[in-house]
A = this chain, B = another copy of it.
Amino acid sequence: MEEQNLPRREREKLRQRQEILAAALELFSQKGYHNVSMAEIAEKAEFAIGTLYKFFQNKEDLYKALVLEQCDKFEEAITRAIEQPGDEVEKLQNYVRARVERFLNNLSFIRLFLAERRGASFNIKAGLDEELRQRYYKFLERVASIFEDGIKNRRFKKTADPYYLAAALDSAIDASLLLWLEVPERHPDLDPDAILGIFFNGLLES
Contacts and interface: CB of A to CB of B under 8 A. Distances in A.
A160 to B, nearest CB: 5
Contacts of A175: 167-168, 170-171
Contact of A115 (B118, B137, B150): B118
Question: Looking at chain A's contact residues, is the secondary structure mostly helix, strand, loop, or mixed?
Answer: helix
A34 interface: yes
Contacts of A184: none
Interface stretch (A14-22, A69-77, A98-106, A151-159): A151-159
A203 B168 CA distance: 13
Interface stretch (A4-12, A50-58, A78-86, A191-199): A191-199
A176 interface: yes
Contacts of A133: 182
A63 interface: no
A198 B119 contact: no
B122 A114 contact: no
B203 A199 contact: yes
A187 interface: yes
B122 A205 contact: no
Nearest to A154: B205
Interface in A118-144: 118-124, 133, 137
Q: What are the 4 A-B residue pairs with the smallest beta carbon separation, nearest first?
A: A202-B202, A171-B175, A168-B172, A34-B34
